Chain A
Amino acid sequence: MTYAIEKRDVTEWLQKLLETAEVIAPVRGPCGDVLFSTVRSPEQVVWDFQNTLPPPKQFVLPQTDPIIKIKRNGELHEIEAIYDDTRRLLFNIRSCDAKGIAFLTRMYEMEPADASYLRRAYNLTIITLACNIPCSLGFCVCAGSGPFLSDSYDVQLTDLGESYLVEVGSEKGESALSGVPNLFREATKDQVSQRERLEAEAKNQFGEETCHFASAMRRISTGRVQDALWEEMSEWCLECGGCNLVCPTCYCFSVKDLGSDGSWTRCRMWDSCQYAAFTLEASGHNPRAERRQRMKRRFFHKASAQYYQRDCAVGCVGCGRCVQVCLGATNLPAVVGAIRKGKWNA
């Protein structure tokens, strides 16, 4: 079902949403950065932004995520799972990030399913704001994850000038509208065709970043990337791990116990496959001790046919964050480009 809401009515809608769930939306901080944060009033929500540098994945997969409580009881240890059942609503997230969360959920739903992640994900309502103007470093159009969505959202908003087009993609989406039904009118034909036009225009406005996954995939999957190329590219990586940590589709973590003396919290903590010790084994052996091996592994996971068949998507939503945070020069589009051309041209 497709509706429209007048811009002046959005405050009232947000007010209603704030009563029913923790609303997380883009907020402008004191240092000028826009970050996703819990909002207390509709006025805090930012509408005019490209995207946040830290992805909203932290609201389904926090950087530090308590999963089990462990308590010593005499000779025994008592363990208890920690679940976060808070009802949350992610408001104004971008298309790529909604696709990212869908990717993570698909992964964590695979057997053995991860209840800790899933409880959080199933309690989350996703309201996206389609990108009428693509962000400067984004290339979501190459990854099939934007600038507009046809799935992976509960509600998709499109800015039509005076009003927002409201596309409902799920029951959770319906219920997000149900508190104030009188604010939503059925969308007119004009409004729907305006959205189509905006999407077409947006697709023509992408910047320089492109990513031809298909030809890179063929090379990666058939072992046609020379070791020397991995070696050469890896010289341009400073092992910050930033590409993993800001990637909406990266889900790897390590497990650490916090606490002491008989009471601990086992936490899941984000990890990066680009860190030397990521695959370090207890014996001291490290199957991927060299940076080139780790980089090769990362891109095999991101863009090989094997993973594409499993995930039905490349491990990239084209948000461009890795371009921005990369301390070296080995962001995803740069490496995919080099793989495709068989040549690194830094």
Chain B
Amino acid sequence: MSAFATTCPSCSCGCGFYLLTSNGQLTGVAPSENHPVSSGKLCARGWNAHEAALCGQRLSRPLLRTNGKVESVSWDEAFDQISRRLKELTEAGRSVGVLGSARATNEENYLAGKLARAGLHTNNVDFSYHSLCRPLLAGLEEVCGERIPTTSLNDIASSQLIFLFEGNLAETHPRAASLVMKAVEKRAFLVTIGYRMTQMARLSSLHLVTTPGNEHEVIRGLLAAVLELRRLDRRLLGVHGEEYEALWRDVERVDRTNALRQAAEWITRAERATFLLACNGGEGEQARKDAAAFATLAAVTGHLNRRGSGLLVLVARSNVRGACDMGVTPERLPGYERLDDEQARQRLQDLWDRKLPRDPGYSTEDLLQSASGLIVLADDPPSVVPMGQQAMAAMEKLDYLVVLDSFVTPTVQKAHAVLPIASFAETEGTLTNMEGRVQRLRAAANPPGIARAGWQVIGELCARFGVGNSYTSANDVFSEIARAAPRYAGIEQRLSADGWSTALLANVDDAKSLVYTSGAAAVTESPCARGPYVLVRDGSFDWGHDPLVAFSPTLSRDYQSERKLFPNGFVEMCQRDADTLNLSAGRVVRLRSVHGHAVVPIKVRRDLKPGVLSVPYAFRDELASVLGRDSVTAVSVEAP
């Protein structure tokens, strides 16, 4: 039996474990006491991480689809057709683009960005999960500047106060939830904000229950309570003078309940406080404002600048931070630098020896609608973006779709060309977690058939478009990243070849030299949906459609069973609403909104409050006729 130290590919906590193999085949996972993030602990996804690679429907040979027929071909045949077809499209002036992925490595993403900008001469490059986290990151940037704020996960456990703005942390980020529990055990105050009485909310000292869509009001209420409390003694605030007055004028009329006053007192008293932003999937503008207000709260109370305190964004997939850092978004170059930053552009032009395009590119959803040719790296946009069916329909209309993946996803089934790449268990490379910790993946087994490492395959595509470099290892690519992205310079030297090789991007104190800027105070009132009931699209990430879970027999059971029982989806409501409507679990209701109507079964939940109906992200498309593009909408409910 052999053990390979590697990084968990699931969520953005970035735990480490050993992949175990026997005779070259994956057999299991073992935890490590010495890993800086996981310290011997793993969640269910970690414990069963080997299963998807071992049991999943894997791609083992390049495939080409001609006239509806799929044929297995050699690598050269596949590369030849792909480069010919894409060149035809670009020469005909048609739009092409590349999608990287929050579940691909830094090396794969970096090369995907290079292929788009230098090889295909377009800024049409994004990753599908970005459509969920972009507003949130934008909101943070308004307050904190260009650096994604961060704190160390381990600091959570020693916090005296934790502010958790969540979807459902216990399910989305069990490792972070574990550290929150540790703090609560040590008598820290936990304040949760959300519309659901989640496991974390039930353990909290105070749960600020929201109505979907009015989270912003609750956070503004907290801001008001903090400013009011510190009106006389402002020394402890992170905001002064005119900034203070402007902010105060902005929020002074917001309702301040006793609960908000209590929470405000705890924030101002705590020496070490962690602000965890673990919600996503909300409607764009709303999510941006919520994130900005949340960061403002952290900044105003001085917790962005204090040792042991900080704000941490917890997004679902493992390498969201890495994908952003590698420049796999239309508006950012490697190093998370702006597209219009001339210095950064010049550095890349010199490095890649190509003139780079200036026109802004399309983001995922627009790219799917407007492109003729698309290269998708380890991603399945229909299972990620809010309008899944629409994304699927758009992909079906593409003139040419190339997909690189390890697994047979719905996107793979639509592709004209499929390139099989190694899964996380079979490749070398790095991932960057949300702390900014760069960590190595190590190959524990060989990929199936003639599949190759992702960096090799995109490297070859780059070469076909004249921007290849003769990379002989993932490390070669990483060395180039260090030159393309200044923030990654020197990381390679700090990542040792052996052991738990992890290196933090910027040291934590550095990242905390952030100050609150009054621009963020420009928050406006948002009308929340009115109506007898509110229907909300639960933004908690749909792990059931992520190949790492979907292809694991152990992890996928719940999701599959739910699909089987409710093939057309369901909505969740509380017992009181079910009683009022005289409904029992499993019975159907008719939901009607301004967008349209639908008839769906109900599921009774204990964690919802009256008046709130929730549809899991996995079933959002089944309720698209009622939700439209909204994440929250007013509905009427009747028994048909």
Contacts and interface: CB of A to CB of B under 8 A. Distances in A.
Interface string B153-190: 00000000000000000100011011001001100000
Interface of B: 1-3, 5, 16, 18, 20, 22, 25-35, 40-44, 46-47, 50-51, 54-55, 170, 174-175, 177-178, 181, 184-185, 199, 202-203, 498-500, 553-554, 557-558, 561, 564-565
A215 interface: no
Contacts of B35: 31
Contacts of B18: 29, 33, 35
Given A63-B27, A63-B28, A235 B202 contact: yes
B199 A235 contact: yes
Interface stretch (A96-104, A200-208, A325-333): A325-333
A33 B34 contact: yes
A14 to B, nearest CB: 18
B30 A54 contact: yes
Contact of A37 (B1, B50, B184): B1
Contacts of B5: 29-31
A150 B385 CA distance: 61
Interface stretch (A70-78, A171-179, A274-282): A274-282
Interface stretch (A119-127, A152-160, A237-245): A237-245
- Find the residue from A29, A236, A326, A329 having the highest chain B CB count within 10 A: A29
B553 A325 contact: no
Contacts of B29: 63
A59 B30 CA distance: 13
A62 B31 CA distance: 15
A191 interface: no
B34 A238 contact: no
A254 interface: yes
Contacts of A235: 199, 202-203
B399 to A, nearest CB: 32
Given A31-B34, A325-B31, 8 more contacts: A33-B33, A54-B31, A236-B181, A238-B43, A256-B55, A256-B553, A324-B41, A325-B42
B170 A31 contact: no
Nearest to A255: B553
Contacts of B561: 277, 280, 284
Contacts of A246: 31
Given A238-B177, A284-B565, A327-B42, A269 B47 contact: no
Given A256-B55, A275-B44, A31 B500 contact: yes
A4 B534 CA distance: 77
Nearest to A271: B554
List of 7 A-B pairs having minimum Cβ-Cβ separation, nearest first? A63-B28, A277-B557, A54-B30, A30-B498, A327-B178, A64-B27, A284-B565
11 contacts: A30-B499, A31-B16, A62-B22, A62-B27, A63-B20, A63-B28, A239-B174, A245-B47, A277-B557, A277-B558, A328-B181
Contacts of A161: none
Given A31-B32, A240-B47, A38 B565 contact: no
Interface of A: 24, 29-33, 35, 37-38, 53-54, 58-59, 62-64, 235-236, 238-242, 245-246, 254, 256, 258, 269-272, 275-277, 280, 284, 324-329, 346
A53 B31 contact: yes
A238 B178 contact: yes
Contacts of A54: 30-31
Contacts of A328: 178, 181
Contact of A280 (B55, B174, B500, B558): B558
A258 B52 CA distance: 11
A189 to B, nearest CB: 40
Given A63-B29, A280-B558, A242 B565 contact: no
B508 to A, nearest CB: 23
Contacts of A238: 43, 170, 174, 177-178, 181, 199
A83 B226 CA distance: 68
Contact of B40 (A24, A241, A272, A325): A325
Interface centre among A31, A54, A272 (most CB of B within 10 A): A31
Contact of A242 (B16, B42, B203): B42
A38 B46 CA distance: 24
Contacts of B33: 33, 53, 324
A239 B44 contact: yes
Contacts of A30: 5, 498-499
A206 B20 CA distance: 32
Which of A30, A239, A256 is packed against the most chain B CB atoms within 10 Å?
A30
Nearest to B170: A238
Nearest to A55: B30
A64 B558 contact: no
Contacts of A271: 554
Contacts of B20: 58, 63
Contacts of B16: 31
Contacts of B44: 239-241, 272, 275
A275 B554 contact: yes
A328 B180 CA distance: 9
A69 to B, nearest CB: 14
Contacts of A64: 25-28, 50, 54
Nearest to B34: A32
A242 B184 CA distance: 21
A271 to B, nearest CB: 6
B212 to A, nearest CB: 24
A24 B5 CA distance: 19
B373 to A, nearest CB: 32
B30 A53 contact: yes
A54 to B, nearest CB: 4
Contacts of B499: 30-32
Residue of A241, A272, A280 contacting most chain B CB atoms (<10 Å): A241
A8 to B, nearest CB: 30
A53 B20 CA distance: 14
B387 to A, nearest CB: 29
A269 B3 contact: no
Contacts of B553: 254, 256, 269
A60 B22 CA distance: 13
B41 A325 contact: yes
A322 to B, nearest CB: 11
Contacts of B28: 58, 62-64, 270
A208 to B, nearest CB: 15
Nearest to A63: B28
B491 to A, nearest CB: 19
A120 to B, nearest CB: 13
A30 B2 CA distance: 12
B565 to A, nearest CB: 4
A247 to B, nearest CB: 13
B554 A242 contact: no
A37 B18 CA distance: 12
Given A31-B35, A38-B1, A240-B42, A254 B30 contact: no
A240 B557 contact: no
Nearest to B48: A241
| Most chain A beta-carbon neighbours within 10 Å: one of B177, B184, B199 | B199
Given A30-B498, A63-B28, A254-B554, A326 B564 contact: no
Contacts of A329: 181, 185
Contacts of B32: 31, 33, 53
Name the residue in B1, B50, B185 with the highest tally of chain A Cβ atoms < 10 Å from its Cβ. Answer: B1
A58 B1 CA distance: 10
B184 to A, nearest CB: 8
Nearest to B500: A31
A326 B41 contact: yes
A29 B131 CA distance: 41
Contacts of A33: 18, 32-34
Contacts of B42: 240, 242, 325, 327
B185 A37 contact: no
